[in-house]
Copies of this chain bind each other. A is one copy, B any other.
Amino acid sequence: MSPPLTLGLDADDTLWENQARFDFAQGNLRDLLSPWVDGEVVDETLLNIERNNVKLYGYGVKSFTLSSIQAAVELTKGEMTADLTTAIIESGWGIIEHPVEILPEVAETLEILSDCYQLLLITKGDPTDQYKKISASGLSDYFEGIEVVREKDPNTYLELLVRHNVDIKDFVMVGNSVPSDVLPVLSIEGRAIHIPHHSTWGHEQVDESVVESLTFPVVDSFSQLPDILADLPKS
């Protein structure tokens, strides 16, 4: 008999709302900067700054807040005020302090999945943010391992599977991000299931042509996972 499957589950926007919190804060930033520039200019400037800053700062709320302050300095052309700075910092606190909002049917489905599979929570980002949310979610007992990684690249997956003594053939990753949860796992000959979320960060969007040549299951809802996994062909 082959060993049971291990499921890797992404957290942000797979188990709970995340991008919506950042979108809300970014909406605040657009409002705050509306005396100077249009919303689209704010979005574009912020995304460029965030892309540059990922190398220095990594992901997460602190990185987003610092990038937002930089965008405001740039777009207000010397008219940055103390009140504006404080409003941006407080908008970041709003992301951190917002209660964790578990996505529909996630808790019930994890209960079912944890009976049949070994579950690993695999999330990237700022560990201070991530552990706060994991702890507040009340879901951590379903997981046999929790991994907060810097980047979800093929090596990261290989390394953590070695540590958990899981063969890549027995591993299926589940998440909302094609570049982070699907492509790197397929590239090391693992399997992945995509659960799209209504809102995706610009930095995580993927060139459609890359995906066209690949086949992986795409499901609408977390509750479909037990059936999809039961029907998955043997690796």
Chain B proximity mask over A28-64: 1 for CB below 8 Å, otherwise 0: 0000000000000000000000000000111000110
The residue on B at minimum CB distance from A97 is B56
* 10 nearest A-B pairs in the assembled complex, by CB-CB distance: A58-B128, A80-B82, A62-B62, A73-B82, A78-B82, A73-B85, A56-B96, A73-B86, A57-B62, A80-B85
A56 to B132, CA, bound (A): 9
Bin the interface of chain A by size.
Answer: 20 to 34
User: Which of A's residues lie within 8 Å of B, judged by CB?
Assistant: 56-58, 62-63, 65-66, 69-70, 73, 76, 78-83, 85-86, 89, 92-93, 96-97, 126-128, 131, 148, 150
A127 to B128, CA, bound (A): 10
Interfacial chain B residues near A148, Cβ < 8 Å: 127
A65 to B57, CA, bound (A): 11
A57 to B82, CA, bound (A): 21
The residue on B at minimum CB distance from A128 is B58
17 contacts between A and B (CB under 8 A): A56-B96, A56-B97, A56-B128, A62-B62, A62-B66, A65-B66, A66-B66, A66-B92, A70-B86, A70-B89, A73-B82, A76-B82, A78-B81, A78-B83, A79-B82, A85-B85, A126-B126
A62 to B58, CA, bound (A): 10
Asked whether, in the complex, the Cβ of A63 is within 8 Å of the Cβ of B62, the reply is yes
A150 to B96, CA, bound (A): 17
A70 to B82, CA, bound (A): 9
Interfacial chain B residues near A150, Cβ < 8 Å: 127-128, 131
Interfacial chain B residues near A89, Cβ < 8 Å: 66, 69-70
Q: A22 to nearest B CB, angstroms? A: 16
Interfacial chain B residues near A76, Cβ < 8 Å: 82
Q: A141 to nearest B CB, angstroms? A: 16
A187 to B96, CA, bound (A): 32
A73 to B80, CA, bound (A): 11
**Known A-B contacts A66-B65, A66-B66, A80-B82; A58 and B93 likewise in contact (beta carbons under 8 Å):** no
The residue on B at minimum CB distance from A149 is B127
Q: A56-B97, A73-B82, A131-B150 are in contact. List 10 more A-B contacts (CB 8 A).
A: A57-B62, A58-B126, A58-B127, A62-B62, A65-B66, A70-B86, A73-B85, A78-B81, A80-B85, A127-B150
